[in-house]
Structure 1
Amino acid sequence: MVKVTFTLHDGTVREAEGEEGLTVMETAVRNDVPGIDADCGGACACATCHVYVDEAWTGKVGEPSPMEDSMLDFASERADNSRLSCQIRLSAALDGLKVAVPEFQG
């Protein structure tokens, strides 16, 4: 299991565990993390699973694909560390990953 820490816009911290191979979005949905709506079900066709990756983890998570980058243009309050959580696949290297849920999604 891979642990992911979600910080909600109000400062509440939620920890969740997901199996390797699942996405951060799937882990959030399965653990009822508020603010991760995932309207498209993980098809990279909306921006309702937008998160901010903690600066310490951006290198390990990597850059968004061109398709994800285009979809992030629809996210409110996009930042340099913005990612769609449906596009971050869990692996042992991401155990302990920290992300924040944007305020507008909360």
Structure 2
Amino acid sequence: MPQNKLSIAFYNLENLFDTINDPNILDDAFTPKGELGWNSSRYAEKLNKLSQVIVKIGKAETGSAPAILGVAEVEYRKVLRDLVTTEALQHLNYDFVHYNSPDGT
């Protein structure tokens, strides 16, 4: 496997929200009492599935996970921290820069 290649990727996390209601964020549906019945088990499962996909992006071409990964549809910093510390990703020592942009919908 060539060692001189790195991958840079972008992945839409499709509404990665934790289960905690934040009055400053439109996250009511993603709470245990919300319309989606979002709970800790479902949140952990989503984190696990996302991390399993992310670690495979570019691996066939470079032999490793993406060196840089841009993401979208993230509630806030905490969910990114939860994602990068999953079992599949923690060994990659990912860190992140986060910009919270308002969602007017």
TM-score range, shorter chain: under 0.3
TM-score normalised over the length of structure 1: 0.28
The structure that is strand-richer by fraction is 1
TM-score normalised over the length of structure 2: 0.28
